[in-house]
Amino acid sequence: MDDEPLIRKSNQRYQSDVIVDMIKHYDFPYIALNPGASYRGLHDSMVNYGENDPPMLLCNHEKIAIQIAHGYAKACGKPMGAAVHNVVGLLHSPLALYYAYIDRCPVFLIGATGPMDEKLRRPFIDWIHTAFAQGSAVRDYTKWDYQPGSVHGVVDSFSRAYSIMMTEPQGPVYMVYDAGLQEAVLEEDIPLPPEGSVRVPPRLAADPKLIEQAADQLVSSDYPVLLTEYAARMPIGYEPTVALAETVGAAVFDINKRLGFPNRHPQNVSMHADAFTEADLVMALDVIDWTRGSHKPNWQTREVESLCKPGCKWIDVGFADIEISKWATDYNKHHNWDMRILADTTNAIPALTEAVAGRVSGDAQLAKRIEDRKQAIGEKHAAQWAKWQDQVKEQWDRRPMHESRMAYEVWEAIKDEDWVLTAGTLKTWANKIWNFDQPYRHPGRELGTATQFGMSLGVALAHKGSNKLVVDLQPDGDLMFDLGAMWVAVKYEIPILVVMYNNRAYYNDWAHQIHVAESRGTDPARAYIGMDLEGPEPDFAHIARGMDWWAEGPIEDPKDVVPAVKRAIEQVKAGKCALVDVIVDRREGTA
């Protein structure tokens, strides 16, 4: 703007300027950070040499900075940067990095260390803030980490890190910059990568022979099921999965790590108890959690029962064991697949669709069999959908309100808006009531506690300026970890509607304690100890108003939800952050 003061530039360049050159070269939209002296040289370069472009987002915790980048990438498919302060800032980061890693989200994390040259270290503080192999603290759940030995290694390592981060399966990387390197004067020009250079290799293509073999199995199957987890990644994969399902006449079970299939599509059998009972072929599309839906766990005994038809064949299409963790077991139980196709589903799914379509064309008998199967699956879908709506009615008068009633009331308030749901789904009730008809409606279900609010801010940031209504169905226990992050949303004018899913407890574990008590014969009435958020009950509306949010609540009468949410929507449309605190029954329902 014309009235902004001119930025005072240094009359010489510093080595941290080269890092800023690379940040700009790779077009990062934001850098979320919690400040620290270890990267004071880089900070000054970003603010003055780089003119705060891309803009910094000051966060009150390193975990929030990384989660904002995680949610942003999940929502739009583009990475943003985050920065943390040497050893101590990095040690605040592991939970957020771990979830970004297992959720396969690109986050470019920048860190720093006190000067490796002992001559440059200030007494005490630079010594406790300097570590050898600092990246080892997060190496087990980042795709790559590196600390360049001089400014001559900055460009090469930055480019390599970006390529590693964005190559599927994607994930976070960590780059460490010596404080002494950052603050040193730049004595020579450091060439940047040419503008036309390839930044990320092309997506992994499938073996054409295997595609043909898989197509043969699909068309010869009596009841194929497509199991999808990461095949859809914004902005790709949603429509191609629909095309494959419709072409082959397959049922689809969406694990919802990403929104992979429209929930009201007649071939959607997600969350159906009998989704796999008739299947003679399951094709897993970029799937890690292959037991989801196809196996039934006993939460008391931990035993697992297969729900699949005996002799069912399994085909794996995805990245197989590429980038498998050597530390955590997020890769799930090994499966004895009948066939495996190593490929990015972005390439493999259209190839499979084309191969199947070629077999159906001109084969009237096969075409009729596919149409008959689609009709049967559609009837199953309709029956299950009707059952869910009946369950809403069964729980209608419960006080406090059941999750299904809350999902229904919020849907009534937002259904005419162009909405986006950030993470939580009210224990899948949003999936059973709302209409997820566009790929951007939902970047995927929530992860662990203390992850949802930060990621939701990233989703809202990705949609800022789009006129989409970003809705966070926010658990109370999760927000209690990150109340300070509400300030970030207001400071950077990130419009978001938070509707509290407030059962005044960490009830997920409470339910586990009830199961244990029942199995041991102890008193389940004592399961609340160490679980409830009462005495006092947090007043989230009061807290939100203290952060300059518009807020209402707590709301206990279901009929008050729609008017309150509609009032909140008007505030969000005006550019504000709004919160509606809704009290929900903590007891498990009959659904």
- 580 sits in which H/E element: strand 578-583
> For residue 330, what is the domain's CATH number?
3.40.50.1220
Task: Examine residue 9 and state whether it is found in any structural domain, yes or no.
Answer: no
- Residues 257-266, buried b or exposed e (16+ Cβ, 10 A)? bbbbbbbebb
Does some domain include residue 192? no
Q: Count other C-beta atoms under 10 Å from residue 169's C-beta.
A: 17
| Domain match, 278 and 161 both | no
- Name which of 458, 466, 463 is nearest 482 in CA terms: 458
Q: For residue 63, which of 39, 38, 98, 28 has the smallest C-alpha distance?
A: 98
Could you give the C-alpha distances from 312 to 80, 248, 282, 307, 337, in angstroms and in order?
Answer: 42, 17, 7, 10, 11
Q: Is 476 exposed, middle or buried (0-12, 13-18, 19+ CB in 10 A)?
A: buried
Tokens of 491: 């400071």
144 plus 101 within the same structural domain: yes
In a domain, 553, yes or no: yes
What is the predicted pLDDT for the residue at 1?
Answer: 44
Residue 190 lies in a domain: no
Residue 269 in tokens = 């059998």
Are 272 and 300 contained in the same domain?
yes
User: Domain ends where: 326, 351, 385?
Assistant: 385
Beta bridge partners of 498: 472, 579
Whether 178 and 220 map to the same domain: the answer is: no
- 536 Cβ contact list (under 8 Å, min separation 6): none
In a domain, 86, yes or no: yes
Distances (CA, A) of 269 to 146, 273, 352, 428, 431: 44, 9, 21, 13, 12
The 3 state secondary structure assigned to 201-233 is CCCCCCCHHHHHHHHHHHHHCCCEEEEECCCCE
Nearest to 135 by CA among 117, 110, 155, 115: 110
Provide the b/e sequence for 364-397 (b: ≥16 CB within 10 Å).
eebeeebeebbeebeebbeebbeebeebbeebee
pLDDT tens string, the chain, 591 residues long: the values are: 456 678 888 989 999 999 999 999 999 999 999 999 899 999 999 999 999 999 999 999 999 999 999 999 999 999 999 999 999 999 999 999 999 999 999 999 999 998 888 898 889 888 888 888 899 999 999 999 999 999 999 999 999 999 999 999 999 999 999 999 999 999 999 999 998 899 999 999 999 999 999 999 999 999 999 999 999 999 999 999 999 999 999 999 999 999 999 999 999 999 999 999 999 999 999 999 999 998 888 877 888 888 888 999 999 999 998 988 889 988 888 999 999 999 999 999 999 999 999 999 989 999 999 999 999 999 999 999 999 999 999 999 999 999 999 999 999 999 999 999 999 999 999 999 999 999 999 999 989 889 999 999 999 999 999 999 999 999 999 999 999 999 999 999 999 999 999 998 888 788 888 888 888 999 988 988 888 888 999 999 999 999 999 999 999 999 999 999 999 999 999 999 999 999 999 876 433
Q: What is the pLDDT of residue 590?
A: 36
Q: What are phi and psi of 451, to 5 degrees?
A: -125, -25
Which of 333, 357, 385 corresponds to the end of one domain? Answer: 385
| pLDDT of the residue at 512 | 84
Nearest to 143 by CA among 87, 88, 97: 97
Q: Is residue 79 reached through a cis peptide bond, with omega within 30 degrees of 0 on the bond before it?
A: no
Torsion of CA 445, 348, 285, 463, to 10 degrees: 0
Regarding whether 284 and 237 lie in a shared domain, the answer is: yes
Q: What distance in Å separates the CA atoms of residue 416 and residue 497, rounded to the nearest whole number?
A: 15
Question: Which amino acid belongs to residue 21?
Answer: D
pLDDT at 591: 32
**CATH code for the domain of 518:** 3.40.50.970
Dihedral of the CA atoms 551, 552, 558, 560 (nearest 10)?
-110
Residue 89 lies in a domain: yes
Please report the pLDDT score of residue 375 as a whole number: 98
Check whether residue 270 and residue 293 sit in a common domain.
yes
What's the structural domain count of the chain?
3
Residue 293 contacts residue 431 (beta carbons within 8 Å): no
Q: For residue 288, which of 254, 349, 333, 325 has the smallest C-alpha distance?
A: 333
Residue 378: per-residue pLDDT: 98
How far are the Cα atoms of 27, 157, 321 from residue 195, in angstroms, in the given order?
12, 17, 33
- Asked if residue 405 and residue 378 are part of one domain, the reply reads no
Q: Which of 385, 409, 430 corresponds to the end of one domain?
A: 385
Q: In one letter, which amino acid is 341?
A: I
Residue 579, H or E segment: strand 578-583
Those residues whose C-beta lies under 8 Å from the C-beta of residue 297, and which sit 6 or more positions away, are 303, 304, 305
Q: How far apart are CA 468 and CA 458, in angstroms?
A: 14
Domain assignment of residue 515, yes or no: yes
- Same domain, yes or no: 462 and 376: no
Give me the pLDDT at residue 408, please: 98
Shared domain check, 279 and 215: yes
Looking at the fold, whether 340 and 445 belong to one and the same domain comes out as no
pLDDT for res 537: 93
Check if the beta carbon of residue 583 is closer than 8 Å to that of residue 401: yes
Nearest to 176 by CA among 54, 85, 105, 57: 85
Domain span at 330: 208-385
Instruction: Count, in order, helices (H) and strands (E) of the chain.
Output: 20, 18
Query: 3-class DSSP state for residue 305?
Result: strand
Q: Say if residue 220 is in the same domain as residue 179.
A: no
Distance CA 356, CA 426 (A): 37
What is d(CA 255, CA 249) in angstroms, rounded to the nearest whole number? 19
Rounded to a whole number of angstroms, the CA Rg of the chain reads: 26
Query: What ranges make up the beta strands (E) of 84-196?
Result: 108-113, 144-146, 173-178
**Half-sphere exposure (Cβ direction) of 562: Cα atoms closer than 13 Å:** 9
Query: How far, rounded to the nearest angstrom, does the alpha carbon of residue 16 sit from its chain's CA centroid?
Result: 31
Confirm whether 323 is domain-assigned.
yes
Q: Are residues 138 and 212 in the same domain?
A: no
